[in-house]
Amino acid sequence: MAEVRLENITKLFGGHIIGLKDFSLQVKNGEFVTILGPSGSGKSTALRIIAGLEHPDKGNIFIDEVNVNKHLPQERDVAFVFQSYALYPHMDVYENIAVGLRIKGCCKAEIQKRVQEVTGLLEIGKLLKRKPKALSGGQRQRVALARAIAKRPKVFLLDEPLSNLDASLRERMRTELKMLFNKLKATVIYVTHDQTEAMSLSDKIALINNGMLKQVGLPDELYYQPKDLFVASFLGSPPINTLEADIIGENALMCGKICLNISSDYRLKLKNKNKVILGLRPEDIKVYLEPKENTYLAQLILIERIGKYTILSLNWQGQILKAITERDFIGQHKRDSIWFQFDMNKLYLFDKETLNTI
Amino acid sequence: MSIKNAPAYRQSNKKYRLAPLDSKHLTGLARIFFCLAIISMVVFNLAPFLWQFFSSLKNSKELYLVPVTYIPAKVSLTAYEKVISNPLFLRYFLNSVIVSIFTTFVTLSLASFAGYALSRLKLKFKTALQFLLLLACLFPQIIFLVPLYELMARFSLISKPLALVLPYVTFSLPLAIWMMTRFFLTIPKEIEEQAMVDGFKRLAILRKIILPLSWPALATTAILIFIGPFAWNEFLFSLSFMIKDTSKTVPVGIALLSGTSMYEIPWSQICAACVLTTLPLVLFVIIFERKIIEGLTRGAVKG
Amino acid sequence: MKKEGRYISRTLENMSKNLSEQRFGLFLILPSFFILALIALYPILRNLVLSFMEQGRFVGFSNFSALFQDERFRSVLINTAIFCLISVPLELILGLTFALVLHQKFFGRGFARAVSFLPWALPTAVMAVAWKWIFNDTYGVFNDILLRLHLIKEPLAWLGRPNLAFFCIVLAEVWKCTPFVTVIILAGLQTIPLELYEAIRVDGANSWQRFRLITLPLLKPAILVALIFRSIQAFGVFDSIWVLTGGGPGGSTEPISLYIYDTVFRYLKFNYAASMVCFSFIFFLLFILIIYLTFSRRQIEY
């Protein structure tokens, strides 16, 4: 297993479309790092650059402190699992796993041994003689993983491997993947747009948007200490509620018609600003059916019963807030008014222009 | 500069994926070989035509010069003048034009109807038709020669254009129907269903909705029929069925000119005639290359 | 939405089963059906009938027995077989090479593709005349090039000597028909997903291994289609040989189609020609069956 380091990678498509801009990332030996981002953010590009399937215009890639910029994919000793699995349709499962080893020059006995290992690990023993056409989505995915693991590469690169599976299968495979890579103690770089996957699987998350790295750190860091509004709103389901507010005085905010007092910690940081954006996570909003001390009145617009919990959409001063409550919080009869309160300490403040956290 | 327009980004991303042997990344020696391969391929395919072209521009003295000159020292158009002023050649040309255009038109019409029916409707005749189509495109022409000649003679069609149009249409139908069927399958059924719900009758749907959508496919199919082996270029049936001199088509005319007389074969005129016959096709193919190749290669090979 | 769509297309299917739809469909198909039955099906059956007749009278197998004793028939069959066995593999190899080249991106690819397609688009007979001029023993450019390159010492009579003439007809045919193979294989190449190449590159394959492990196996259907169609077409070759050599010198380049043509138009023996057609029909159906069986056994499920 190896370390991977990306240094200031820039990649332009067609000369002007930004793929990646000044992207740097460090992955330690045995770490599971996810590159997370929306579609088209450059995460797949970053992965392909590490694999050698694309060349960066600027920057360096190091695998185990060796600069591999000029190395071809076959020389980098990485395993790449494609979103579509890229199984060779004309070879059976055994051949699919074996062909890479054969090219490497492994002898027959070694190949057999390794195939045995991975089929045991991934429980695909019964599928060895089948062709990809005859496999289900989940089975194909396991074969793709088996192929990668049998190579014993320095780094595993996975490009959205779970997105082609149904929701239930996805959850199951997520757990299996985590156990698998824990067992292998492998260095994994994982790409996805699904924040739940990223949060649950990774040691570290690198959030990327528009080709630029937004924040990198532990999942909890990104969730509870987002650097800017994008990070805060990308992680968390339902996403963070945002409200506009004006600054009045030294430690008060005017949100619509409501005045909020904020702690003096922020006084200095708010000095030169007029407006801020407030961020409030749905789970930090406490909802009541009757007015209580320090609660605000809002209009209940929508109830979404997810099963485990219920999401309420509230209209407060013209802005929509979402709050999470317990399953049986709201009965069947209609309600119009609802009261809520929130902890000021759990409020995030974002600069209106730069969208950075204050 | 952001990549907000994700679809466009996705598309351009695909363009820059390394092709199996992306020529941009070939190293020195391999690159030289690749260029050599391209050049030899182009030369190999163009050579006969180019040679005819240059030969046709030489005057008779230079044509018969040994050793051969490659680029004519003096460009002379006398060969062309002689050919164009030959009423027989013009007659051949006209015959070819008439037969080819009729063939293309009739084949297109029949193929569009049949293709539409095959793509939409479940009919008993479907398998029978597909079997006949296979028959027509699978067997070499010679097999049909004797009975067809008999047929044409019986209906006094010998030396009449219809004697050619009928077989040409027949043997062009397999490819044409295949292309039109494939095309119609790409038009979603919902459009017609919407029209039916709106009250259109079947024939009106064909005319007002399907037909306007079909122009690109019709054009490509028309091109493929015209340059195919059963229109302008056909030889065997034309040789066999067109006995009268004034009904012959151009390929037969040129071939007879070059073979019959044992003595003075008018090579310069033959070369000019060849060029006149093929130059339009050459230009046609070069201009419409993309349409032709894409029309043929889109849609996987289904053995 | 999906359920709705399924409901609608099932409605359409139900509708198509009703009578007016059937009638309409028939109306659309009938003209093509009719013309195909007349010009394609009827002659095949008529051939069978004719081969058992002579001048309108039923004569049983006498035409066929004459066929078995016909020396010329035997030699044309051999000529045709040799012709197919030489030209078709050449076309496959050349077509595969061209398709591989044309599949890459390079400057001027559109032009290269057009040029590679050209031989198929040009009239066979007209281009055969061009080849005749090229192979002319005195004034032909082929001799000239060979002389200049010092590959031969004096001009050769390309169309006048049996082996050389055979070379000429093979060359003319390969030149004409390679584009057919090229287009089919190009279509096949485009169905191979790029990701398979990327995956095997990451696995460590060089370009030859990529070709052997991915390209060639996945091209098998396309190659098979090209092989079958070209074999059939090569069997019936007529145009270029009629023009180039007329079957000569001494019948050494005569294919079966030329003999059939001669039998009809020079010797006016229609029935004998029909029996020749019937016999070669069976012969060549066997040929196709053998090819199909040998190569399709290793077909891939895709």
Radius of gyration of chain B measured on its C-alpha atoms: 25
Shared domain for A160 and A299, answered yes or no, is no
What are B189's two structure tokens?
Answer: 């059924």
Q: Is the pLDDT of residue A156 over 90?
A: yes
Please name which of B82, B139, B119, B107 lies closest in space to residue B228, comparing C-alpha atoms.
B107
Rounded average pLDDT over B261-281: 81
State which of B8, B41, B76 marks the end of a domain: B76
Q: Is residue A358 part of a domain?
A: no
State which of A176, A200, A234 marks the end of a domain: A234
The span from the CA of C262 to the CA of C276, in Å, is 12
Alpha carbon A161 to chain centroid distance? Answer: 13
Alpha carbon C195 to chain centroid distance? Answer: 33
Shared domain for B46 and B167, answered yes or no, is no
- Residues of A contacting chain B (CB within 8 angstroms): 13-14, 16-19, 39-42, 45, 53-54, 210-211
Shared domain for B43 and B156, answered yes or no, is no
Rounded average pLDDT over A238-249: 83
Shared domain for A259 and A223, answered yes or no, is no
Instruction: Tell me the CA distances in angstroms from B135 to B165, C51, C119, one per residue in order.
Output: 18, 20, 25
Shared domain for A305 and A264, answered yes or no, is yes
Sequence-separated (6 or more) residues with CB below 8 Å from residue B25: B18
Alpha carbon B57 to chain centroid distance? Answer: 27
Shared domain for B92 and B49, answered yes or no, is no
Sequence-separated (6 or more) residues with CB below 8 Å from residue A203: A31, A32, A33, A218
State which of B18, B44, B76 marks the end of a domain: B76
Q: Is residue A207 part of a domain?
A: yes
Q: Around B145, how many Cα atoms within 13 Å sit in the side-chain half-sphere?
A: 33
Shared domain for A9 and A116, answered yes or no, is yes
Rounded average pLDDT over B46-58: 89
- Per-residue model confidence as pLDDT tens digits over C174-222: 999 999 999 999 999 998 998 899 888 888 888 888 899 899 999 998 9
What are A84's two structure tokens?
Answer: 């579509």
* pLDDT given at position C146: 86
* pLDDT given at position C97: 93
Note whether A40 contacts B15, CB cutoff 8 Å. no
A-chain residues within 8 Å CB-CB of B8?
Answer: 17
Q: What's A6's DSSP letter?
A: E
Shared domain for A294 and A174, answered yes or no, is no
Shared domain for A229 and A129, answered yes or no, is yes
Q: Mean pLDDT in chain A?
A: 86
CATH number at residue B181: 1.10.3720.10
Rounded average pLDDT over B73-92: 86
Q: Please check whether residue A167 is in contact with residue A200, taking contact to mean a CB–CB distance below 8 angstroms.
A: no
* 3-state SS, residue B274: helix
Least confident segment among A42-46, A182-186, B206-210: B206-210
Confidence band (pLDDT; 50, 70, 90) for B10? Answer: very low
Strand partners, A302: A313
Indicate whether this complex's ipTM tops 0.95.
Answer: no
Shared domain for B164 and B213, answered yes or no, is yes
What total number of domains does chain A contain?
2
Shared domain for A268 and A130, answered yes or no, is no
Shared domain for A97 and A117, answered yes or no, is yes
Q: Is residue A356 part of a domain?
A: no
Sequence-separated (6 or more) residues with CB below 8 Å from residue A14: B12, B15, B16
Rounded average pLDDT over B176-184: 89
What are A133's two structure tokens?
Answer: 């056409």
Q: Is the pLDDT of residue B277 over 80?
A: yes
Q: Mean pLDDT in chain B?
A: 81
Burial of A117 (0-12, 13-18, 19+ CB in 10 A): middle
Confidence band (pLDDT; 50, 70, 90) for B241? Answer: very high
Our CA angle for A357, B2, B3, nearest 5°, is 115
What are A275's two structure tokens?
Answer: 């407006």
Share of chain A above pLDDT 70, in %: 93
Q: Is the pLDDT of residue C11 over 80?
A: no
First to last CA, chain A: 39
Q: Is A50 on the interface with C (CB under 8 A)?
A: no
Q: Is residue B57 part of a domain?
A: yes
Q: Please check whether residue B134 is in contact with residue B173, taking contact to mean a CB–CB distance below 8 angstroms.
A: no
Instruction: Tell me the CA distances in angstroms from B36 to B13, B41, C150, one per residue in order.
Output: 30, 8, 23
Q: Is the pLDDT of residue C290 over 80?
A: no
Q: Is the pLDDT of residue B26 over 70?
A: no
* pLDDT given at position B20: 43
Shared domain for B45 and B95, answered yes or no, is no
CATH number at residue A230: 3.40.50.300
Between these two residues, C285 and A210, which has the higher pLDDT value?
A210
Least confident segment among A109-118, A216-225, B53-62: B53-62
Q: Please check whether residue A256 is in contact with residue A319, taking contact to mean a CB–CB distance below 8 angstroms.
A: yes
pTM of this structure: 0.81
Shared domain for B65 and B132, answered yes or no, is no
* pLDDT given at position B148: 92
Please name which of C52, C77, C48 lies closest in space to residue C64, comparing C-alpha atoms.
C52
Confidence band (pLDDT; 50, 70, 90) for C23? Answer: confident
Rounded average pLDDT over A140-160: 91
Stretch 5-44 of chain C: residues touching chain B, C-beta under 8 Å:
5, 8-9, 11-13, 16-17, 21-22, 24-26, 28-33, 35-44
Q: Backbone dihedral region of A210: left (phi > 0), alpha (psi from -120 to 50 degrees) or beta?
A: left
CATH number at residue A270: 2.40.50.140
A-chain residues within 8 Å CB-CB of B6?
Answer: 39-40
Shared domain for B105 and B56, answered yes or no, is no
Sequence-separated (6 or more) residues with CB below 8 Å from residue C46: B146, B147, B150, C274
* pLDDT given at position B12: 37
Count, residues in chain B: 303
* pLDDT given at position C301: 37
The residue ranges of every structural domain in chain C are 2-51, 70-296
Stretch 182-201 of chain C: residues touching chain B, C-beta under 8 Å:
183-184, 186-188, 190-191, 194, 197-198
Instruction: Tell me the CA distances in angstroms from C84 to C177, C234, C287, one per residue in order.
Output: 12, 6, 11
Q: What are phi and psi of C24, to 5 degrees?
A: -65, -45
A-chain residues within 8 Å CB-CB of C213?
Answer: 88, 99
Strand partners, A279: A242, A348
Least confident segment among B24-33, B73-82, B110-119: B24-33
Q: Is B27 on the interface with A (CB under 8 A)?
A: no
Given A78, A82, A103, which is nearest C205 (Cβ)?
A: A103
Q: Which of A333-337, B6-10, B215-219 has the highest mean pLDDT?
A: B215-219
The span from the CA of B219 to the CA of C146, in Å, is 44
Note whether B1 contacts A53, CB cutoff 8 Å. no
Q: Is B15 on the interface with A (CB under 8 A)?
A: yes
Please name which of B77, B82, B33 lies closest in space to residue B53, comparing C-alpha atoms.
B77
Confidence band (pLDDT; 50, 70, 90) for B123? Answer: low
Distance from CA of B195 to the nearest CA of C (A): 13
The span from the CA of A302 to the CA of A273, in Å, is 35
Q: Please check whether residue B213 is in contact with residue B187, taking contact to mean a CB–CB distance below 8 angstroms.
A: yes
Shared domain for B142 and B279, answered yes or no, is yes
- What is the strand order of the sheet A212-217 is part of? A78-81, A155-159, A188-192, A32-36, A204-209, A212-217
Note whether A17 contacts B17, CB cutoff 8 Å. no
Rounded average pLDDT over B91-109: 93
Distance from CA of A68 to the nearest CA of B (A): 17
Alpha carbon B58 to chain centroid distance? Answer: 30
* pLDDT given at position A38: 92
Note whether A14 contacts B17, CB cutoff 8 Å. no
- Per-residue model confidence as pLDDT tens digits over A101-134: 888 888 889 899 999 989 988 888 888 899 998 9
Q: Please check whether residue A350 is in contact with residue A279, taking contact to mean a CB–CB distance below 8 angstroms.
A: yes
Q: Is residue B268 part of a domain?
A: yes
* pLDDT given at position C18: 62
H/E element holding A261?
A: strand A258-261
The span from the CA of B145 to the CA of C263, in Å, is 11
Confidence band (pLDDT; 50, 70, 90) for A253? Answer: confident
Q: Please check whether residue C176 is in contact with residue C121, taking contact to mean a CB–CB distance below 8 angstroms.
A: no
* pLDDT given at position C296: 63
Shared domain for B107 and B36, answered yes or no, is no
CATH class for the domain made up of C70-296: mainly alpha
* pLDDT given at position A354: 63
b/e code C136-167 from CB counts within 10 Å (16+ = b): bbebbbbbbebbeeeeeeebbebbeeeebbbe
Shared domain for B254 and B125, answered yes or no, is yes
Q: Is B142 on the interface with A (CB under 8 A)?
A: no
State which of A234, A266, A301 marks the end of a domain: A234
Instruction: List the single best residue of C32, C80, C242 to mutate versus B (max B Cβ within 10 A).
Output: C32
Our CA angle for C144, C147, C149, nearest 5°, is 110
What total number of domains does chain B contain?
2
Shared domain for B195 and B244, answered yes or no, is yes
The span from the CA of B297 to the CA of B300, in Å, is 7
Q: Please check whether residue C160 is in contact with residue C245, taking contact to mean a CB–CB distance below 8 angstroms.
A: no
Between these two residues, A309 and A261, which has the higher pLDDT value?
A309
H/E element holding A25?
A: strand A17-27
Q: Is A73 on the interface with C (CB under 8 A)?
A: yes
Q: Is residue B218 part of a domain?
A: yes
- Per-residue model confidence as pLDDT tens digits over C70-115: 889 999 989 999 999 999 999 999 999 999 999 988 888 889 999 9
Confidence band (pLDDT; 50, 70, 90) for B21? Answer: very low
- Domain of B101? 82-297
Shared domain for B141 and B205, answered yes or no, is yes
Q: Is the pLDDT of residue A328 over 80?
A: no
Strand partners, A93: none
What are A88's two structure tokens?
Answer: 């060779």
Given A80, A90, A133, which is nearest C202 (Cβ)?
A: A80
- Domain of A306? 241-351
* pLDDT given at position B7: 39
State which of A187, A214, A234 marks the end of a domain: A234
Confidence band (pLDDT; 50, 70, 90) for A357? Answer: low
Confidence band (pLDDT; 50, 70, 90) for B302? Answer: very low
The span from the CA of B151 to the CA of C35, in Å, is 13
Confidence band (pLDDT; 50, 70, 90) for B62? Answer: confident
Count, residues in chain C: 302
Name chain C's partners: 3 or more CB pairs within 8 A. Answer: A, B
Angle of helix C220-235 relative to helix C162-190, nearest 10 degrees?
Answer: 150
Rounded average pLDDT over B40-59: 90
Rounded average pLDDT over A171-192: 90
The span from the CA of C84 to the CA of C242, in Å, is 16
